Amino acid sequence: MRSEPEKPDFLTDVKIQLLLFGGKGGVGKTTAAAATALELALCQPERSLLLISTDPAHSLEDSFSGAEPPPNLKIMELDAQAYLHDFHEKNRQRLREIAFRGTFLDEEDINRFMELSLPGMDELMAFLEISRWVKEGSYSGIIMDTAPTGHTLRLMEMPEMIRMWLSALDALLAKNRYMKKLFRGSYERDDLDHFIEGLAADVKQMEKLLKDHQQCRFVPVMLAEALSIEETLDLIRELQRLHIGVVDVVINRLYPESPCLTCRHIRARQLRELARIFKEPGFSKLQLWGVPMYPEEIRGMKSLRSFWEGLKGVVPGTGEAMLSLPPVTLPVDSPPPVPTPDMALLVFAGKGGVGKTTLACATAIRLARAYTGKRVLLFSADPAHSLADCLNMSLGPTPKQAAPGLWVMEMDATADFIALKNQYRKELAQFLSQLMPNLDLTFDREVMERIMDLSPPGIDELMALAAVMDFLTPEGYDLLVLDAAPTGHLIRLLELPEIIEAWLKAFFSLFLKYKKIFRLPGISERLVRMSKDLKRLRAILRDPSQAALYGVSILTEMSFAETTDLVAACGRLEIPVPCLFLNMATPDNPDPLCRSLFQRESAVREKFALTFPGISRPLVYWQSNPRGIENLDALGQILYS
């Protein structure tokens, strides 16, 4: 029998040069990353450490609450776009020259495409910089607070994505190499070849670092809740598939034994879920660490320093998890009116882990019941879907009826975009074979095929979102309810239509300019439809009689800060926000933990009142078990007046 370690080795192992914390939004990964960086900096003063965030919705500064970190710890909230801009500035001429050598496009066409974003290039440039810091020993240790799960997995898959882009660039040079060798008898590699080779070497170095279990470690952070567990399992499986090292898992906010009925309910549910995860193969070889639920919010040096003090290894158990407890059902304070039957689109948005999926599901069920004869479609745009787990049913990319008047789907944005690229390649091949059946167009065909690989980041998700507009017809559905991605990702997605429209204009200009030699009617029709869907989506989102964004927050300082960013972004985009649900609130009772949480949450609730006086702010107390159609139906009944 192996002896259990007293603490995880990521708190002590000096060989780990890159330590990544990730998981579902709202589980405390930022806090875990900040507390780890502080612990390492104080216990290992000889080391030079960097704490860095790659989450589009940064919250590291909030964690330290303005306090000055130790001198050997630097804190950085990464601006990925700035690194991409710097890359463009340094290499614009190289990229333009590569395009000139390999295509029939003229300077105007090339300039148009060069100004567009490239897929994932902002995150890639930032990650390559981090990889370079590790390689050069700029810091003896880097601790990274990553974005929520879906966004993080994209980052982990970046080496494969960038290889596609480099392959596209190399294809542009292949014809030039061939022609020079054909007419000169030889080809000498030049600056452009070295540029591509250098980038490829950097990507290989990054991939090598990610797969080096001695130097790089990924620590999933989760809660003892069904949705968090399912997402963490998916994350661990994917990390293991990518051969990225995972040894420890942090389970945050575990409730103590207590006579308080609310605390007992939460603890019983947590223990039930913990008993289940020990049966999952994904957890069998991992060390699980439990962190208690602290009465005070973990912000500032003092509380961050004490975060790991209550850490304990988690072992299988049952006990009180099986106790039968009376249900806890508390009415919603100041519930808003039920959305009117004329609404076409409701978006539920907020920081990950605040319960937006639960409230979106409960609302969709309530609307389907309230407006018989109406057809409601509930769908998810989050790369890490959780609708299926919340409804306790299997779902896919086509609508499935979940209840009378209610259909549900989880979009597969990646598959839809792959289908678009395949359609483009197939139609292009057919056209070229009909145009010049006896000519070898190997290089030209590959170059033209690769144009689709230069699409902007996020186009897959936005394309899927636009496609859902096709469901909003008299023959389809009357009302769409969207469970959106976490705040930072959603804001980027809502701002994407302008980028996508620029990309579509570049394509349309190409088709119009070369219509005699570049006729692809099927793909042109699909891109025109996509453009129309995007314009319709934007028009609906800006019309308060047709659409609304319902913000969901919990009563913590970090969630308040992120909600403020979300409402500000919606103001810029002219998207109406009539309601902010303050979710999972702790009821006031004599129990010391609940009383402390209630007082802390009351102070944050007052901030919401002062900051958003014109927006409805219903208070939703913690619920016993908001999972499955029956329980969500009960929640939907008390959610609105």
CATH (domain of 405):
3.40.50.300
In angstroms, rounded to a whole number, what is the distance separating the alpha carbons of residues 237 and 123?
22
In a domain, 192, yes or no: yes
Distance (Å, rounded) from C-alpha 283 to C-alpha 290? 14
What is the domain extent for residue 618?
A: 345-414+461-500+536-639
H-only helix segments in 473-556: 487-513, 521-541
Cross-strand partners of 583: 554
| pLDDT given for residue 155 in this prediction | 64
b or e along 581-598 (b: 16 or more beta carbons within 10 Å of the residue's beta carbon)? bbbbbbbeeebebbeebb
Tell me whether residue 329 is in a domain.
no
Check whether residue 249 and residue 361 sit in a common domain.
no
Buried/exposed code over 439-474 (b: 16+ C-beta within 10 A; e: otherwise): eeeebbbbbbbbbbbbbbbbbbbbbbbbbbbebbee
Same domain, 389 and 242: no
Domain count, the chain: 2
The answer to the question of residue 582 being in a domain is yes
How much is the pLDDT for 42?
93
Q: What is the pLDDT of residue 387?
A: 87
Please give the pLDDT value at position 549. Answer: 94
Note whether 370 and 478 are same-domain residues: yes
pLDDT score of 149: 60
Same domain, residue pair 298 and 379:
no
Per the domain annotation, does 389 fall within a domain? yes
In contact, 51 and 73? CB cutoff 8 Å: yes
Q: 611 and 557 in one domain?
A: yes
Note whether residue 360 is domain-resident: yes
Residues 284 and 223 in one domain: yes
- Tens digit of each residue's pLDDT (9 = 90 or more) over 120-138: 556 667 777 787 888 788 8
Phi, psi dihedral angles at 79 (to 5 degrees): -100, 90
Same domain, 199 and 308: yes
Q: What is the DSSP letter of 293?
A: P
Classify residue 514: in a domain, yes or no: no
Distance of CA 544 to the CA centre of its chain: 27
Same domain for 369 and 221? no
The structure tokens 């689709």 sit at 452
pLDDT (0 to 100) of residue 130: 81
46 plus 154 within the same structural domain: yes
pLDDT of residue 105: 54
Residue 358 and residue 250 share a domain: no
Render 78-139 in DSSP notation, one character per residue. Answer: --HHHHHHHHHHHHHHHHHHHHHHH-S--HHHHHHHHTS--TTHHHHHHHHHHHHHHHHTSS
Q: Which of 278, 307, 322 is the last residue of a domain?
A: 322
* Residue 441 within a domain: no
Phi-psi group of 28: left, alpha or beta (phi > 0 → left; psi -120 to 50 → alpha; rest → beta): left
Q: What's the rounded Cα separation, in Å, for the pair 382 and 582? A: 21
Positions of the chain with pLDDT under 70: 1-5, 55-59, 80-81, 84, 95-96, 98-124, 148-162, 164-165, 168-169, 171-187, 282, 316-329, 382-385, 413, 428-429, 431-463, 486-524, 624-625
Residue that terminates a domain, selected from 291, 322, 353: 322
**Do residues 318 and 350 both lie within one domain?**
no
- Tell me whether residue 338 is in a domain: no
Quick one: 235 and 380 in the same domain?
no
